[in-house]
Structure formats: structure tokens, C-alpha cells
A and B are shown apart, each in its own frame.
Chain A
């Protein structure tokens, strides 16, 4: 007797029980049922890479109001939508980012340019300028445009100020002029002067560390980066580099890490425990880097340069940054990451403050769970197939302005030629006479204590 069974699918098992129920699906993961799975996945990755580039529209909007170049930007600690900007025309504006409106406008806050702005807790704002004064303002929302606020306090100094930064918790602030000065908000003169014993430089920027709050870092015109401690009241260490730095920023999550934007087109992260060489060099700009700021996550940072581009870097990845540019944006003198790490603000020579998305192709607005899942799947696909020549090419490629492209090309040619020349020279000198020096070892000339 032969037992017979023939394959049959019960329709009831594959159809919804009641109207409105989801239609049952069945899965069989046998590779034989999924031919070309790898080729199809590659096509999906290719589409994902293309979609990312199609939807890469990073520019969100611009905030006007200044009649001259924007020199400095500062975000309000603990707030995601308030920033202040200071300009060469001597005006200071406090912006509301979410409404793209002005909260407060102080015209003629200083004679000449406003060189530094920072929030001092609550609605109070500190500004300093080249007119050798620091002013404390009440920047609470203005009822009308015409009324001109009066400064709450004026701190007179002896020479032009270049930068200002407020202490994380105490009512102290530091200014940079020919020396670094520490001020108390309640006292009219500086409570201490900090300077490296032998230095005669102009200090261009000063910043408090965000977690070791009594530590200060400053950069100066003598190509230096100096560390101070306000508890001991003196400069602890300084390094002299090949080129001067234009901006510095302390990492918000990794207290010993500091980022320097250098005149030699590069950015450097230093570990302050080991100042002999940078932990990473970030190469990409084709002119001096004018400003930099960390994302609050400490995983990314933004930089703006003399080459009219804004670049967004991943921490630890020294090449291939995201590049933003527009036709009308001039030299970028200040840049800022927003408090929620989703946006980037830049101030440039054309007098505008621009808002950009930190991820160029990110969708703003509500995202449903299915859409989120699709976005994450596309991200994974791009990550997985990034070494495929076609996918990688689409993901990496950026259209940049022709002058920037030409400058980069020229720079590459020159650097290559220099290296080849160096190598040839070494080949024709006595063996072992000159040894190649790692790029990271070339940055710092000397470290002084």
C-alpha cells in the first residue's frame, strides 16, 4: 500500500480572518528561493546612496540683521534655540532659531567690531570689542525695535579685547587681549592676569574647559597654545606650533581633548596630557580655518574657513568631511553646532548667519516608524556596500565650487611635489642621514612648561 500526500496550501491560512486584518505573510529563508540576493542588495545600496544625494539639501535658512561681516557666534548654554551674533559694525543680535526671529538687537554695542560674545546666565549677555571694553547686557526679549538697551555694566580694559568666555558655573569670565584676564562680574577691574612668563604675544582666543572648569586654554599670535589654571593663577604649559591657530574648542564629552583650527588649512585635536603631537590631523580646507565648534555629542565638529566652505567632520576621521557652500556665502568667520546636534550655524563676511542641517539629507519634521526603519536600513546598506566602487563613488562625491576645487588640486600637486622632492633628496644623501618624519610629529615645534 502506497501512502500518498500531495502538497496543498489551505487558503484560510494565507488570507485574513476578518476584513481589516493584515494579510498573513510567510517566510522561507532558503537561499534557493532568493536568487540574485546579493546583486539585488547592491542595487538597493546604490539606490540608497543616490537617494541620499538627491535629498541632500542642507541649507535651512539665513538670519540677517547685521550690516557688516559677522565676527562671532555664541550659543546659550542649556537652550537649543537661542544664539547671539556679534558683527564688525559693532552690533549684537540675539536670534531665536526655531522662529528665525530676533529676540534682542543691540546696535552700536561697541565702537568698531564686536570681537567676542557670550551668555552669562539667564538673559544676560557679555560682549567685548576692540574699543577696550567689556559690556554686560540684559538681552531679554525686546518689545519694540527702536528702544536701545543700556548696558548693565561696563568693564574697562587697557587694550583691545579679542575674545571672551564665561565660566561654566561661577560668575567669572575670561578675556583675551595682550594677556588673559579673569574678571568677576561684580567687580569693575580684572581680578587676575594670567600670562606665560616670557610671552609678549597677543592672545586671540580663550576658552574654559567644560568639565574641569578652572582650566583655561588660549591661543596666541606667537603660534602658541597655552593652558592656564585659575586656581594656581598661572600658565601651566604651552606649545609652539608651526602655524598659528585661529580658534579653539574643548570637547564637551572628552575633557582632555581640545580642537585647534589652524592657519595651515588643517584642524588638530590634541590630548592635553600629551602635547608633543596631535591625536589627529583633519585635512580638507584649502585655506585657513577660521572657526570650529564641537557637537554636544563630541562625535562631530564643524569648521568654517577662509575658503568660503563649511565642513562637518567626524571625530577621528581626518579626511572626507561633509562640505557646505553657497554662491553668496563669503569667508566663514564663525561656526557653531546647535545644542541638539542637528543643526549648524555659520556667520560669514557677507553679514548673514546661516542655518544648515548637520546631516545634509536628513528629513525635518515628523518621521513615522516605518520611515525611520527604512532610513536605518538604507544607512546600513550604505555602510555595508561603501567599498563597492560605484556605491562608494556616489556616496563620497561632492560638488564643490570651481575655485575651491582648483585650489585643492593645486595644493595636492604642490604637496606631492614637495614630498617627492624630499624623497629624492633623501635618496641622494648618505644613508640614515635624514629620516622621514611623520606628519603628526611636524606640527609642534616645542613644548614649554
Chain B
């Protein structure tokens, strides 16, 4: 019988097994049979090698999450165990939250495998071949099928055209300088509306979806519905030059010749904010899709960043010597079209591209305005710039559109970046440039109409139906309209750093409890200080931790192994006469016009002058004036 069972190779007699184990380990504790550890490598070495049943079952068995051992989950490696927290209940709760977050993150990473669609690409076989030599005819031929339909030419009268796509890339709105406005589904060719407005039209934008659009006309901005019926005349937007719609805040923003920036809530109709820029007519406008911050380009070469809740620009930057004719913020994807493998993982809204009247194209890093990352002179003079979702930059100058791509575009170098694609457009000027979301199509507006070209690798290949779906039906569109309206983000939430929401509030500085002289009873102290007096406050440094509990790598790595506590850092901080002001100024660069920097500079100058005067008086070079009764009348 024993022999038979041994042959069957599955179940072994318990007594034999025990004996063998005792021989092997020689310890008093035989390895405990642990179901949860069955899948781990540790046990497979000790027991699994013997227990055939276990190994045969383990591969196909999944224990419920609640029974699993936390140590075995590879997703939970490096999750903080919060051992510094004494309260067991709180510690367990924090551990549970951190583990949940880590597990969710690993599952999110796994979900990348499910992305079906690959982006487009131009693949060269050897170094001698150049992608820019490939023309549009060749690309359209090579693409074939549905994709080739993206290559289009619209011959239209009525002068340089501008265009705009909806967020799902399905519908398109075009506007000609002399008042020709049309909206249509560009894939099926269904026209929604066509208007001849008979007056100067400068810009067009869709609102939350294709059922409404706003046109910047000669005197005011107007809102039309899908059928082209005028719905509203927005009299507070005077002589608008550029329009921008913030879809998550439901804000329509316009800049105009009267140097003001106006935000209007399109769900309630209320004017949220009107900022006077005091910088003359604004000629270009762009939005950061990840923060909702608007970038304005002015005629004096400045670029200013605005939010509705600040009456002055959040950032003011001298970008060009002449007017800033066009600007665009990078949506953040990494370019994979020319063979390099970079999928996902970019940072949204990091780079800003500007173009000046002098034909200079500059790429700025929005985290650090010290100087441009890369700049070059476009040969055809001023034009337009536009980033695609995957980080291709289209630059329209003179009679051609040039497309550059990401890794080379954002490396510091004085030479122009290598060209990815180029396409000549004979009808000057080129006035509008838009990438179509979720496709590889770039639409160029020019004096003789519009032309769409194919840019392989420019578009995001995998859309998310909950955000924007090119194949959305009318019912889904209605539901999404209601849902986005319910989730409308308050305009006050627009800040340079969008992560401020949901982050721990910074702790207030110690006021009373540190010095014993205060006369405030213990009971009346704030909670944190009461805890600190009792010695129960959690003084651990949480700088490196972010909400997901996986921020340790950047917190500890940089400090050469030794970490200073908050107090220590506060103590070591150098303090001196006006030193912080000087440090502040040193970090500020000349091209950033910041009102505080200007004030500090003036203050330092005044101090220096006073000091010099005092020194001279000391040396006797100057005889100090005797104070006179008439001094009171001096200004």
C-alpha cells in the first residue's frame, strides 16, 4: 500500500513525512504547515520540496485576501508599518490604509497590460534614413483604411481659419477671420451648423461638448448651440481675441484687446472673475490641462499665468523680446512614435512652448522658470505652436509645419531639435494649429481653408470612456453632462499645484507651549500643543510620505542616510542680516518680474544707501546736515 501511494506521488504518509523532516531540519520545531505561505518561495524550499500535494495545489489556488499573509504579497513590499505609532488601533488602521493603497497601485500597474491599442509610429531601419523625409502622401498610403481618412484638405473662402476639437476628438469647429463658422462631426462628415456671421471672428471653442460653442466676435463673445442658434451674447467679454474653456470647472475664459481676462461660469452664467492684466492687448492664450492655470502671452514679450482667485498673475515671465504670438502647454505624455520606448509615466503640464513675433520658439519648464529649456529660431518667422497628447510639438512658421518630439525637445541644447516630420503649406499665413485627441491627426488652419495631416505617434491610443469617448452615443453624452456638472470643481481650487487638495494641512508653528511663560491654561491650548505638552504628539517627520504611503524613496534617499528632524533643520537654518532676502533674490532670475522681488530689491537698495551714507559720515567725508525746523515740510 505504501509503495502504491508513493508511486501515485500525491499523498504521503504522515509518519514518514514527519521523520524525514526531523532528520532534515534537526531542530525542535518542525516547519509549520502554513496555508498562507504555500505560494512563497521560503516554504517551497523547506516543505514544498517534500509535499507534492501542496506544490501541485498551490499554483492553482488563490486564498481570499483576508486569509493571505501580508508578508507574501509582493505588492506590499516597502509599505510602512507605522511602528512609531503607539496606539495599536490607529496603527492597525493606518497599516490597513497603506496596504490597501499599495495593493491598488500594483493592480493599477497591472491594468496597463489590458491597454489594447498601440500608438502609431514611424520606424526607420537604419541611421541614414530620416523620418522627416517621409511625406504625407506616403504616410496616408502606408496608413491605409480608416486612418488615411484623417488626411484632408478643406478649401474655404473667408480667410485665415482657426479650429478646435471637442475633448473626445469627434467634432470640430472652424472659424474664418471674416465670419464663416461651422461645426461638424469630422469622421462621418455630418454638418451640425454653418453660419456666415459677417463680422470679424477671432477664435472659437466648444463648451463641455459639441452641443454648445462660443465664438469670439468683433465686439463680444457669443454662444451658439449645436444648430447654430445664438443662445447668449456675453457682453462682459469685450473685444475678445482668444477663448479657452476649462472643462472640469465649467469656465469660459477670454482675453481681449482691452487687456482683461474674464472667467465666466457656463453652468450658472456668473462672472467668476475679471482680472485686469494691465499689459496691453493679449494676443495668445493657453491652458494647462492638469492645473487649470491659464497662460497669457502679451505684446511686450511677457507670459503671465493666472488663476481666478488671484488678482495678480501667479507667475510673470519675460519670455520674448517682442509679442508672444502663440503658446501651448504640454499635456504630458511621452512620445513613442519614433522608435524609442516610452509609454506613460510623464508629468502633466510640465513644459510650456512659446513663440515670439521674432520667430523664436522657446520651451520652458513650468517647475523652474530660471531660463528656457531649449530655444531656437524658426526660419519662417512667427506662427503657431501646439503640443499633442503624446508630447509632439508642432510649430507652424512661414509656409510649413514642423513637428519635433519629446526627449530631444526637452534636453538643453542651443541647436534646433531634430525634426520629426515636416509638411509644406503654401497658403500663408498659418493661423491655427490643433491636434485631434485620440488620433494622429493635426489640423492646420490657413488663409485658404484647413488641411489635416497625419502625424504618427502624436495621439493617445487608449481612451477612457468615463472621461472622453469618441464613440459616445447621445444617451451616454447626456449622462456624462449631468455627471460632470455634479462634479464641477470650484474655481477657487485652481492653483499652480493641483495636489494641494487632500493633502495634510501644514502644521501651525509653535506659539505658546514652547515657552513656559504663557498664562494659557492647559485646557485652552490647541490640541497639537496639548499633545506636545503631554509628550504624546507624533513628532515623526512626514515630509517624504505622500498620501499613498509610497513616497519613501524620495524622502530618505537624498539626505545621505542621515535624516534631520524638523526642529534640527529649523535650528540649522542660517539666519543673518537680510540674508534670507538676498537668498531669495539670488534664486530669482532677472527675467521673472515678480512684485515681491521688485519690492525687496528696492528695500535692499535703500538699506545700502543708508549704510554708505552712515559710513561716509563716520569717515568725515560728508558733514551731516543739522536738523532744522523746516525738515517737517520735506517729503
Binding site for B on A (CB under 8 A): 1-11, 14-15, 23, 25-36, 38-44, 47, 385, 388, 416, 419-420, 423-424
Contacts and interface: CB of A to CB of B under 8 A. Distances in A.
B464 interface: yes
Given A7-B117, A8-B147, A34 B464 contact: yes
Contacts of A11: 146, 471
9 contacts: A4-B120, A4-B121, A5-B121, A5-B456, A7-B459, A30-B344, A32-B344, A33-B463, A416-B524
B506 to A, nearest CB: 14
A423 B498 contact: no
A82 to B, nearest CB: 37
Nearest to B288: A35
B521 A38 contact: no
Contact of B471 (A5, A15, A32, A44): A15
A2 B471 contact: no
A28 B462 contact: yes
> On chain B, which size bracket covers the interface?
35 or more
A9 B489 contact: no
Interface in B497-548: 498-499, 501-502, 521-524
Contact of B290 (A35, A41, A42): A35
B465 A27 contact: yes
Given A25-B469, A26-B462, A2 B440 contact: no
B90 to A, nearest CB: 13
B295 to A, nearest CB: 16
Contacts of B440: 6-7
A7 B344 contact: no
Interface string B99-129: 0000000001001101111111111110001
A419 B108 contact: no
A42 B115 CA distance: 28
Contacts of A8: 143, 145-147, 439
B486 interface: yes
Contacts of B486: 43-44, 47
Given A27-B465, A40-B487, A43-B486, 8 more contacts: A6-B440, A7-B456, A9-B439, A25-B465, A32-B346, A33-B460, A38-B498, A38-B502
Contacts of A26: 116, 462-465, 469
Contacts of B114: 27
B524 A3 contact: no
Q: Please give me the 5 A-B residue pairs with the lowest Cβ-Cβ distance, nearest first.
A: A4-B142, A6-B143, A25-B465, A8-B147, A3-B123
Contacts of A6: 120, 139, 142-143, 147-148, 150, 440, 454, 456
Given A8-B147, A35-B248, A416 B523 contact: yes
A2 B331 contact: no
Between A25, A29, A388, the greatest number of chain B beta carbons within 10 A of the residue's beta carbon is seen for A29
A424 B439 contact: no
A3 B139 CA distance: 9
Contact of B470 (A3, A9, A27, A419): A9
A28 to B, nearest CB: 4
B332 interface: yes
A32 B348 contact: yes
Contact of A7 (B116, B147, B465, B476): B147
Nearest to B249: A36
B486 to A, nearest CB: 6
B634 to A, nearest CB: 52
B487 A420 contact: no
B124 to A, nearest CB: 6
A165 B308 CA distance: 67
B502 A34 contact: no
B471 A14 contact: yes
A162 to B, nearest CB: 39
B524 A28 contact: no
A419 B464 contact: no
B371 interface: no
B124 A2 contact: yes
B289 interface: yes
A43 B489 contact: yes
Nearest to B107: A29
Contacts of A388: 502
A54 to B, nearest CB: 14
B553 interface: no
B103 to A, nearest CB: 14
B134 interface: yes
B143 A4 contact: yes
B487 A44 contact: yes
A11 B438 CA distance: 13
B466 interface: yes
Given A2-B131, A40-B489, A35 B289 contact: yes
A423 B522 contact: yes
Nearest to A416: B523
A388 B504 CA distance: 9
Contact of B248 (A9, A25, A33, A36): A36
Nearest to B130: A2
B71 to A, nearest CB: 27
A2 B139 CA distance: 10
A44 B464 CA distance: 19
A347 B112 CA distance: 59
B473 interface: yes
Between A7, A34, A385, A424, the greatest number of chain B beta carbons within 10 A of the residue's beta carbon is seen for A7
B464 A4 contact: no
